[in-house]
Amino acid sequence: MRIITANLNGIRSASSKGFFEWMTAQQPDVVCVQETKAQEHQLDVAAHYPVGYHAFFVDAEKKGYSGVAIYSRREPDRVITALGDGFEDMDAEGRYIQADFGPLSIVSLYLPSGSSGEERQQVKFSFLERFGKRLQQMRQEPREWIICGDFNIVHKEIDIKNWKGNQKNSGCLPEERAWLDQLFGPWDYVDAFRVVDPRPEQYTWWSNRGQAWAKNVGWRIDYQVITPGLRDKVQAAAIYKAQRFSDHAPLTIDYDLAF
């Protein structure tokens, strides 16, 4: 089973740069997309609905902003398009979609960024607190989970080029990284990429400023977060950088799972 997660920073822009041609060539079973930055009615069927895939979108109410999607070869048993009670503010921003396939749930998640200022950082902290509780509830369900997406947080020093210089910047704040410590610790989730690739400097996002891409001054903020029952199913992981569809690179993980 091959799953790709990709923040496209505009689905129409990424499409024009060849994302869907690349995607279909990978023959993934499920693709989780973040930051579509479009309303579904604005999408061209030929360009944005690959043949052989079911497509599901959650748009932000604000046009040209946020938005998530899931593409799947197999039709899901159920699609959930909101986090629901207590998350109305985040649901209005189009940040969560879940597809259920039997006892497996796959999520496309776009966690808020706090980089635009203190107000949005507080929104991010609020979401982390609420979503942390939801994640713990999800572990009580008799399901396996693969939560794909842009978490907008690096975890450890090996996940960012300029560790010391970013300690006071959103995405690398001690409080944010402590949240990931909880996620991959007491809350009992697993960073699928790190199951098979312990190397440093494996980044998924590069600033458009300076020569970050050329110099590989990056951050690893895109994840596939899995439940422990899937740890031994992770076979391979790859970050695709040969083409640039967005300021993020797609993350592909292969699982020893029937689909």
Q: What strands lie across the sheet with 190-191, from one edge to the other?
A: 78-80, 96-101, 104-110, 144-150, 222-226, 190-191
Domain spans of the chain, in order of start? 2-255
Angle at 126 between CA 123 and CA 130, to 5 degrees: 140
Instruction: Report phi then psi at 191, rounded to 5.
Output: -80, 100
User: Does the domain formed by 2-255 have CATH 3.60.10.10?
Assistant: yes
Q: What is the spatial distance between Cα 127 and Cα 122, in angstroms, rounded to a whole number?
A: 9
- Just list the catalytic residues: 150
Per-residue confidence (pLDDT) for residue 210, from 0 to 100: 85
Per-residue confidence (pLDDT) for residue 259, from 0 to 100: 85
Q: pTM of the entire structure? A: 0.97
| AA identity, residue 137 | Q
Per-residue confidence (pLDDT) for residue 209, from 0 to 100: 87
Query: Parallel, antiparallel, or unpaired for β 104-110 and 144-150?
Result: parallel
Q: What is the spatial distance between Cα 86 and Cα 145, in angstroms, rounded to a whole number?
A: 21
Per-residue confidence (pLDDT) for residue 76, from 0 to 100: 98
Per-residue confidence (pLDDT) for residue 256, from 0 to 100: 98
Q: What is the spatial distance between Cα 75 and Cα 259, in angstroms, rounded to a whole number?
A: 11
| AA identity, residue 160 | I
Report the chain (259 residues): mean pLDDT per 10 consecutive residues.
98 98 98 97 93 98 97 98 97 98 98 93 98 97 98 98 96 98 98 98 94 95 98 98 98 96
Q: What is the pLDDT of residues 14-53, one digit of tens each?
A: 999 999 999 999 999 999 999 999 999 999 999 999 999 9
Per-residue confidence (pLDDT) for residue 213, from 0 to 100: 94
Per-residue confidence (pLDDT) for residue 2, from 0 to 100: 98
